[in-house]
């Protein structure tokens, strides 16, 4: 299959009904799969009402079919067609954060493909905050099932080049709208009970949610890895670079000692650090991923950094750990998944 690439320069193209988007929308109407930018990462979109179309997502990604997908919409009318029993607290959150990087899980209704929900009685829905994503949904006149546009298990794509690297020849098209902004996927919030439960930390923090609706709970799987995650995109190993990644909890002296030991054993070592601390380390490849004082910059650059490690033949990668408050919760969630929960602590 030839993968068509459309480039949209939103600084030069004045029209919101970009002709490139019309072409991509026509492919979606034909039950093809098209990657497109959102404010979080690039999504891999297909008609959420069609078993055929959704099946092509799983096939292209190599994604297990028991892993549900998030449905992307452009209007509240579409939400009402897909879900029911929407609590008042969810309406308050939608008023504040939609369009934006937060996904709500409701009881499903309507003609959704069972492949979207993996047979569950719930559906995960979000309204992305990106003009190209919204225009694509509007022009196709379809709710779009759209996981991240990468091969299953690899770091999520924050640029069209990442999508092309993973999925060239596997999908019908890629809409290139430049780099994404948030850098990690949306927060997923279970809204099927009396109290909202965070299933996946992401672009909207726990603290921001609590400012609107008060206390929220965290899914047991976020606290204890023995529990099975309920959120789309959280059930299986994910985000991993090719070399094994380990998170180091300790000071820079302890960190460098581990690097030196590995290199004495003949290993090529990569280090994931920040601008503030990159000068403390000596290794085969050092990548500074944002600033410790601004964890949103770490989130923005995380997946790109993990992919850059694949450009050199490394035997192992060591990463700093980060505070687990605010955006740091999403960063550490993704790092722990990428590391397979391998952590070395100074003690």
Looking at residue 15, its pLDDT comes to 60
Give the whole-angstrom CA distance, residue 341 versus residue 235. Answer: 14
Which element (helix H / strand E) includes 218?
Answer: strand 217-218
| Paired strand residues for 42 | 37
Indicate the annotated binding residues: 40, 63, 67, 72, 122, 126, 146, 148, 156, 186, 200, 239
Looking at residue 232, its pLDDT comes to 60
Indicate the annotated binding residues for L-threonine: 40, 72, 122, 126, 146, 186
Q: Look at residues 164, 171, 226, 140 and name the one whose alpha carbon lies nearest to residue 56.
A: 171
Looking at residue 231, its pLDDT comes to 56
Looking at residue 237, its pLDDT comes to 58
**Whole-model pTM?**
0.93
Class for domain 4-223, per CATH?
alpha beta
Q: Domain boundaries in the chain?
A: 4-223, 245-345
**What CATH number does the domain located at 245-345 have?**
3.40.50.11030
Hey, which bits of 8-131 come out as E strands? 34-37, 42-47, 70-72, 83-84, 102-108, 122-126
Looking at residue 305, its pLDDT comes to 96
Looking at residue 223, its pLDDT comes to 64
Indicate the annotated binding residues for ATP: 63, 67, 148, 156, 200, 239
Which element (helix H / strand E) includes 284?
Answer: none
Looking at residue 235, its pLDDT comes to 53
Looking at residue 236, its pLDDT comes to 53
Looking at residue 18, its pLDDT comes to 80
Tens-level pLDDT at each residue, the chain (347 residues): 899 999 998 777 656 668 899 999 999 999 999 999 999 999 999 999 999 999 999 999 998 877 899 999 999 999 999 999 999 999 999 999 999 999 999 999 988 999 999 889 999 999 999 999 999 999 999 999 999 999 998 999 999 999 999 999 999 999 999 999 999 999 999 999 999 999 999 999 999 999 999 999 998 877 655 554 455 655 555 688 999 999 999 999 999 999 999 999 999 999 999 999 999 999 999 999 999 999 999 999 999 999 999 999 999 999 999 999 999 999 999 999 999 999 999 97
Give the whole-angstrom CA distance, residue 72 versus residue 129. Answer: 11
Looking at residue 234, its pLDDT comes to 53
Residue 194 DSSP symbol: S
Contact indicator for 31, 46 with CB cutoff of 8 Å:
yes
Tell me the CB-side half-sphere exposure of residue 142, using CA atoms within 13 A: 26
């Amino acid at each position: 299959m030839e993968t068509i690439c459309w480039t949209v320069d939103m600084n030069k193209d004045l029209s919101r009904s970009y002709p490139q988007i019309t072409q991509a929308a026509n492919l979606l109407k034909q039950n093809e799969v098209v990657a497109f930018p959102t404010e979080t990462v690039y999504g891999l979109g297909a008609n959420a009402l069609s078993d055929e179309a959704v099946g092509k997502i799983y096939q292209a990604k190599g994604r297990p079919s028991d892993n549900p997908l998030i449905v992307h919409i452009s209007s509240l009318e579409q939400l009402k067609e897909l879900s029911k029993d929407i609590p008042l607290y969810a309406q308050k959150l939608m008023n504040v954060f939609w369009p934006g990087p937060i996904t709500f899980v409701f009881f499903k209704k309507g003609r959704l493909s069972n492949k979207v929900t993996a047979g569950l009685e719930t559906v995960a829905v979000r309204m992305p905050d990106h003009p190209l994503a919204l225009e694509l949904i509007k022009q196709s006149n379809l709710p779009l099932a759209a996981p991240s546009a990468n091969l299953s298990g690899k770091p999520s794509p924050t640029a069209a080049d990442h999508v092309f690297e993973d999925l060239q020849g596997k999908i019908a098209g890629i809409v290139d709208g430049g780099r994404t902004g948030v850098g990690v996927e949306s927060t997923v919030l279970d809204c099927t009970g009396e109290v909202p439960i965070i299933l996946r930390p992401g672009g909207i923090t726990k603290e921001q949610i609590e400012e609107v609706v008060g206390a929220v709970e965290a899914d047991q799987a976020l606290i204890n890895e023995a529990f099975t995650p309920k959120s789309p995109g959280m059930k299986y190993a994910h985000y991993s670079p090719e070399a094994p990644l380990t998170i180091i909890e300790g000071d820079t002296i302890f960190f460098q000692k581990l690097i030196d030991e590995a290199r004495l054993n003949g290993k090529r070592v990569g280090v994931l650090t920040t601008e503030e601390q990159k000068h403390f380390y000596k290794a085969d490849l050092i990548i500074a991923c944002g600033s410790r004082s601004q964890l949103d910059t770490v989130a923005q650059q995380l997946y790109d950094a993990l992919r850059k490690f694949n450009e050199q033949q490394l035997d192992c990668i060591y990463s700093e750990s980060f505070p687990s408050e605010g955006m740091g919760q999403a960063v550490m969630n993704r790092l722990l998944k990428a590391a397979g929960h391998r952590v070395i602590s100074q003690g």
